[in-house]
Amino acid sequence: MDSVAAIEAAVRAQHGRVEALFTELARCGRTDPGFTRPSYSPEETEAHAVVARCAADLGLAIGRDAAANTAMTLPGRDRTLPPILIGSHLDTVAQGGNFDGAAGVVAGLAAVAAIRQLGLEPERDITVMGIRAEESVWFQVSYIGSRAALGALPDGALDAARIDSGLSLAAHIAREGGDPDALRRGPAARDAAIHAFLEVHIEQAPSLEEAGIPVGLCTGIPGNVRYPDVRIAGRYDHVGTPRCFRRDAAMAGAEIALALDRVWAAREAAGCPMAVTFGRFHTDAAAHGLTTVPGEFRFSLDMRAYAAEVLAELEAAFLAAVAEVSARRGVTVTLGSRAEAGAGAVSPRIRDGLAAAADALGIATRPLGSPASHDAAAFAKAGVPMAMLFVRNANGSHNPREAMAIDDLLDAVAILTAWLVAETCAA
Ligand SMILES: [Zn+2]
C-alpha cells in the first residue's frame, strides 16, 4: 500500500472513535433544543474531560494551563523543537450545536490517532488543544482561552462579568480548575515558540454545501471592531411633536445603521468583503410606546473585515455618522466600551501544503474566506504560522441544526494527517 492509501485507511479507521466522541460530547450541556456549554462552565469542563479521556486512551500526555485549556500531546523525537498545535474550542453559544468548535478538537485527536496507527513518530511534539471560552457572547471578550495561552489577554478581561452569572472571568476560571492569579501575574508572553497552529472548523455558511465540496481551505479570518453597548440619549416627547422640536433617539440609531449599511453595500459591490451587524437594536421597553417619541436608544455593533485598513475605514465611517447624526438631531451618543481583534492571515506555505495533501488524496477543496472569528486568528496575531480547514455543514452554526457528516470531517482529517506526516513524520 502506498503512503497516501495508508494514510487514507488509517484515517477512515477512526470513524467509530469520532462518532463515539460526538456522542459523548452531546451529553455535555444538552439543552432543549441544542447544547449550551457556556465559557468556563461545568458543562464546558465536562467536554474537556471527554476529550482528555480519549487522549489518555491514545497514550497522549495530558496537561492543563493556567487558563484551564487542555493540551494533549504526542511527543516528538526532539522535544526541544517548537510544537505543532491543532485545536479549537469546546464551549458553545446558548442552544448551539454539537460541532461548532468541538469538531476541531475531535479532528486533531483523530489525526494523532491515525499517525499512531501508522506507527509513525513525529520529529516534534504534536499537541491537540481543547481551548476554553472562544464564544465571546459569555464574557463579551473574544478568544479568551487562546489569548490566555499566548499571554495576550486584553487588560481588564479577567474582571469581565459573565452575562448570565454576573461572576467575573477570574472567578469562573478558578472554579473550573484554572489559576487566574497566574494569569494576572501573566506569562508576559508564551515562553516557547510554536511551529504552527492548525484548526479544523465547520463552515458557518452553506457555500461548501452549495458547491458540493467537502472541505474548504481558509484564505483568511476577519478582524473585528466591536461596540457592545452604544447609547443614544434624545428626548421623550408626545407623538404629535413637530419635527423641528424632536430629538428622536430611535431615528438617530436607524440613520447611523443605514449609513454603515450603505458603506458596506458600496465596498462589497467593489469586491471588498466585510460585514456590519447591529445585533441588539432597541428602545427602552420600560418607557417606549405607540404615542411616545423615543428618548433613548441602544445598540451593539460588530464590524468585521479581512484587512486592518478596511476595518479602520469602516470604524471611521461609523464615527463620522455618529458625529453628523448627533449634531443634526440634537441627540447625545455615548459609545461605551470598544473591543477589537486583529485579522488573521493564513500561512501561504501551510495552505499550499494542505492543498497538495488534498490533491494527493483526491479530496476536492476550494479556497474560502472565513466569515467568522476563530481561535486561529489569535495565534496568527501572535506571529504563529496558522492555517484552517473548513468542513461542509448544511444548516449554518450557532444553532441546534448544525449538520456535518462524519465522512466530510474525516476528509479534513485525512488532509491534516497527510500534512502532518509530510511536515514532521518524514523518516
Ligand atoms: Zn467556533
In angstroms, the CA 207 to CA 358 distance is 19
Rounded to the nearest angstrom, the distance between the alpha carbon of 83 and the centre of ligand 1 is 23
| 96, 253, 306, 37: CA torsion to nearest 10 | -20
Rounded to the nearest angstrom, the distance between the alpha carbon of 135 and the centre of ligand 1 is 7
Cell of 175: 472554579
Query: Which residues are 237's β-sheet partners?
Result: 293
Rounded to the nearest angstrom, the distance between the alpha carbon of 200 and the centre of ligand 1 is 10
* DSSP string for 115-149: HHHTT---SS-EEEEEE----TTTTS-SSHHHHHH
Rounded to the nearest angstrom, the distance between the alpha carbon of 277 and the centre of ligand 1 is 18
Pairing verdict, β 223-233 and 339-341:
antiparallel
CA distances from residue 395 to 90, 202, 204, 212, 392 in whole angstroms, order as listed: 19, 10, 8, 14, 10
The CATH classification of domain 223-341, taken from the options 3.40.50.300, 3.30.70.360, 3.30.420.130, 3.10.20.30:
3.30.70.360
Rounded to the nearest angstrom, the distance between the alpha carbon of 159 and the centre of ligand 1 is 23
Rounded to the nearest angstrom, the distance between the alpha carbon of 179 and the centre of ligand 1 is 24
Q: What pLDDT is recorded for position 307?
A: 87
* Residues of the chain below pLDDT 70: 1, 187-191, 427
- Name the nearest CA neighbour of 48 among 25, 23, 15: 25
Q: What pLDDT is recorded for position 371?
A: 81
- Provide CATH 3.30.70.360 ranges for the chain: 223-341
Superfamily of 3-221+344-425 according to CATH? Zn peptidases (3.40.630.10)
Rounded to the nearest angstrom, the distance between the alpha carbon of 202 and the centre of ligand 1 is 8
pTM of the model: 0.85
Q: What pLDDT is recorded for position 1?
A: 57
Rounded to the nearest angstrom, the distance between the alpha carbon of 325 and the centre of ligand 1 is 36
Query: Which residues are 274's β-sheet partners?
Result: 305
- Provide CATH 3.40.630.10 ranges for the chain: 3-221+344-425
Q: What pLDDT is recorded for position 419?
A: 98
Phi first, then psi, for residue 107 (nearest 5°) are: -60, -40
Rounded to the nearest angstrom, the distance between the alpha carbon of 373 and the centre of ligand 1 is 8
Rounded to the nearest angstrom, the distance between the alpha carbon of 91 and the centre of ligand 1 is 8
Q: Where are the alpha helices (DSSP H) in 197-247?
A: 207-211
Q: What pLDDT is recorded for position 25?
A: 98
